[in-house]
Amino acid sequence: MKIEITSKIIDITPAIRERIESRFEKLERLQVPLITPHVIVSKERLMFTVEASAGIPNGKLFAQAEHEDLYAAINELGQKLERQLNRHTEKPIARRANAALKEQPQPDEADA
């Protein structure tokens, strides 16, 4: 997968690129195709800010993380994207579970 990485202030070293790509490889394990992922790395004062956006079938993912350590910010960003992907893939299952609960007859309060 080709990940577009942009930074205006710091140089993207091979180690930073490798860390970002490894986080996105973990997202690929969920078997949801990521369409044109884009990562923006910036630094404001003492904090690194990492933003990522990627298209998925029937939606779009976006996450942002800030941390003093760039690698910690990348890990936090990966966790946020993973939660969003899990929510996206689990949504049909959650809806079916809710529908099943609503169909069950509720005991009347008068019977109690």
Q: What are the DSSP E strand ranges found in 1-112?
A: 4-7, 35-44, 47-56, 59-67
Residue 58 in any domain: the answer is yes
Whether residue 106 is contained in a domain is answered as no
CATH number at residue 65: 3.30.160.100
- 41 located within any domain: yes
Residue 109 lies in a domain: no
pLDDT-derived band at 53, boundaries 50, 70, 90: very high
Domain annotation covers residue 18: no
- Reading the block at residue 29, the tokens are 């394990």
Residue 75: give the domain boundaries: 2-11+32-99
Residue 50 has pLDDT above 90, yes or no: yes
**pLDDT on residue 52:** 94
Looking at residue 104, its pLDDT comes to 64
Total number of domains in the chain: 1
List of residues 6+ apart from 48 with CB closer than 8 A: 41, 42, 66, 67, 68, 69, 70, 73
